[in-house]
Amino acid sequence: MNLLRFRQVALMAAALFLISASFAQTTGGDTVDLGALAQIKTEAFERSQVMENLFWISEAYGPRVTNSRNHKLAAEWAMKQMQEWGLKNVHLEKWPFGYGWQIKHFYAAMETPVYAAFTGFPLAWTPGTNGPINVEPVWAPIHSKADFAKYHGKLKGKALLMFDPAPLTLHTRADAQPSPTDEEILAHAGERWEGGGGRGAAAAGTAADRDPSGRGRHGEGTWEYTPTSLALANAKNGALRNEVNAFLKEEGVAISITPGYNGDGGTIFATYGGSENPKDPIPPPIVAIGAEQYNRLVRLVQHGITPKLNFDIAVDYQNEDQNAFNVIGEIPGATKPDEVVMLGGHFDSWQGGAGATDNGTGASVAMEAVRILSALHRPMARTVRVALWGGEEEGVYGSTAYVQQHFAKRATMVKTPEYDKLDVYFNDDGGSGRFRGVSAGGSPEMAAIFKSWIEPIRDQHIVAVVGGDQFRPTTSPGGTDSSAFSWIGLNGIGFLQDTLEYGTRTHHSNADTYDRVQKADVMQSSMIEAWFAYNAATRAEMLPRIPTPAPDPDAKSHE
């Protein structure tokens, strides 16, 4: 072979080696594009905008109670940002909801026997005070409707302390859970996963650590709950809440005070005490204050001292448009545009904090993932669609309305043409912690595929594929938005995340703020979500599908 020919052969061999080296094959999984992965990493880690997204979502426009003015302003910003990144078909999709609600002003203090300012906030969908009010507290714990008669005629014009004192104990361990090693993740991932396509479970810790209310952080792996009415603490207990609210209104209660649930040290966990539904009774004003402050009031009353309290609360009920919305944007597919890969997270939040870890992180990560994919300028066969859901906190309403409008009504399971074209939905709603694993939705085939996607990014400490051995049907949407998809037999996939301090400090609390978000973690999550969406959008075939459920005539619709 002459020298020229040798050089030609050598150059061809080198080129073939470079081409083959840009792809990797895992047994039983997919061939993945390592060149695309390198680009995704560069975009995610060197040009990240995820924290900038989070600033606007949580600090400029947070909190974002569903259908509130802040929620709408945040949606306008998100749509404009998506359009600037080159996304197409950016729009809102509306569905029936009810009132919007937002805090305008809050002041609370004890004036006598000594002055003490209260930390706190109003419960959502409860009214203001129509100017400053001066009231005296009465302790009247309501455990059930049987207590109504006991307090009849004794509550008019009073500040009602309707809960038992909050049981506070010494913190004997850190609120934040340390990030587990990869080996610990692999050893415990199966037992930590809740199954199906729901919210990503905590990556490590006891069952109490995983409790989203934070009920496990006092003591060692045990929790206590104040033995009192759940009507105002539990957003799901709507019927009892309405009965209590009607009673308080009839009795002329001036304001009701709660310690929230399981908070202390200045952290207050609370959500709502009224309702977005115009048909439900409007309660008197209800505020959550610090547990230590609440307990002090109860002790003063028990010792025969009647404090003088001052409140000045202004809220804004928005009833001009009772349709809430989801924010939608797309990167159109190059060759199979009617087949769709979705990713997203809920955009709404509660009012106590800024809605940063729940779920500004999930929304910011989803937006960053589609920005990354758009910046690659690599054609993807399938359309990639991002969704920022509304109404998740009230009951997964936005995503439930979406799947029934686009894919199938759960009551009949009559499929639309879009049903068979929806490949997968990836969801992020687990706080600030980095992705450590992913659910396979009960499919061994999906598990093998996801393992091949994870293999080249194990350096990012995502190592576990869980839930691939046993399919668990989703009987009703709840917990997070991926459940709305799995509820009708579509792939709704959640990621396994580090717990950090999500359940113990920030989830549904006044500490849910920008500064509690770990920048490196959400950058990692953005990279992984973009990588998963890219692989789904470019693989030869659609992903395996979970079983289609039978019709459920009793299923509720949120269309």
Q: What is the DSSP letter of 460?
A: G
What is the C-alpha R_g of the chain?
Answer: 26
Q: Cα separation of 400 and 559, whole Å?
A: 8
Pairing of strands 116-117, 100-112: antiparallel
Query: Has residue 357 been placed in a domain?
Result: yes
Which whole-number Å values give the CA distances from 144 to 147, 306, 362, in the listed order? 6, 26, 37
Instruction: Decide which of 294, 317, 340 is a domain's last residue.
Output: 317
Q: Among 106, 262, 245, which residue's Cα sits nearest to residue 162?
A: 245
The domain total for the chain is: 2
Q: In the beta sheet, which residues pair with residue 272? A: 124
What's the full length of the chain, in residues? 559
CATH value at residue 259: 3.50.30.30
Query: Do 433 and 503 contact (CB within 8 A), yes or no?
Result: no
117: in domain: yes
With respect to residue 219, please indicate whether it lies within any of the assigned structural domains.
Answer: no
Shared domain for 154 and 69, answered yes or no, is no
Question: What contacts 532, CB < 8 A, 6 or more positions away?
Answer: 343, 426, 438, 450, 453
CATH of the domain at 51: 3.40.630.10
Compute the distance between CA of residue 394 and CA of residue 97 in angstroms, rounded to an integer: 10
The C-alpha angle with vertex 249 and arms to 244 and 250, in degrees rounded to 5, equals: 100
Same domain, 281 and 428: no
Can you tell me the distance from the alpha carbon of 232 to that of 234, in angstroms, rounded to the nearest whole number? 6
Select from 317, 339, 368 the last residue of a domain. 317
Is the same domain home to 284 and 355? no
**378 and 450 in one domain?**
yes
Residue 16 domain flag: no
Same domain, 329 and 453: yes
User: Does residue 260 sit in the same domain as residue 331?
Assistant: no
Lookup: tokens for 247: 């009673």
pLDDT of residue 187: 84
- The one-digit pLDDT tens for each residue of the chain (559 residues) are 443 443 443 444 444 334 344 565 554 689 999 999 999 999 999 999 999 999 999 999 999 999 999 999 999 999 999 999 999 999 999 999 999 999 999 999 999 999 999 999 999 999 999 999 999 999 999 988 899 999 999 999 999 999 999 999 888 888 888 888 998 888 877 654 433 334 444 343 322 233 333 333 322 222 222 323 333 444 346 677 888 999 999 999 999 999 998 899 999 999 999 999 999 999 999 999 999 999 999 999 999 999 999 999 999 999 999 999 999 999 999 999 999 999 999 999 999 999 999 999 999 999 999 999 999 999 999 999 999 999 999 999 999 999 999 999 999 999 999 999 999 999 999 999 999 999 998 899 999 999 999 999 999 999 999 988 878 888 888 899 999 999 999 999 999 999 999 999 999 999 999 999 999 999 999 999 999 999 999 999 999 999 999 999 988 766 6
Answer yes or no: do 337 and 384 share one domain: yes
Place of tokens 């549904």: 508
Does 142 lie in the same domain as 71? no
Q: 317, 334, 359 — which closes off a domain?
A: 317
Question: Using a CB cutoff of 8 Å and minimum separation of 24, what contacts does 413-421 make?
Answer: 413/488, 413/489, 413/548, 413/549, 413/550, 413/551, 413/552, 418/340, 419/490, 421/338, 421/339, 421/340
* Cis-peptide into 259, omega within 30 deg: no
Kindly state the tokens that stand for 457. 């990014």
114 and 55 in a single domain? The answer is: no
Same domain, 163 and 53: no
Query: For residue 110, what pLDDT is reported?
Result: 99
In a domain, 211, yes or no: no
Domain assignment of residue 74, yes or no = yes
23 belongs to a structural domain: no
| Whole-number Cα distances in Å, 360 to 102, 408, 409, 514, 527 | 18, 29, 29, 9, 17
DSSP per position, 159-211? EEE-SPPP------S-SSPPPPPHHHHHHHHHHH---TTSSPPBSSS-HHHH-
Q: What is the Cα–Cα distance from 35 to 535, expressed in whole angstroms?
A: 12
The model scores a pTM over 0.75: yes
Whether 463 and 531 map to the same domain: the answer is yes
Is 11 within a domain? no
What is the C-alpha separation between 419 and 79, in angstroms, rounded?
Answer: 25
Q: Range of 154's domain?
A: 103-167+224-317
* pLDDT score for 556: 76
Residue 356 and residue 496 in one domain: yes
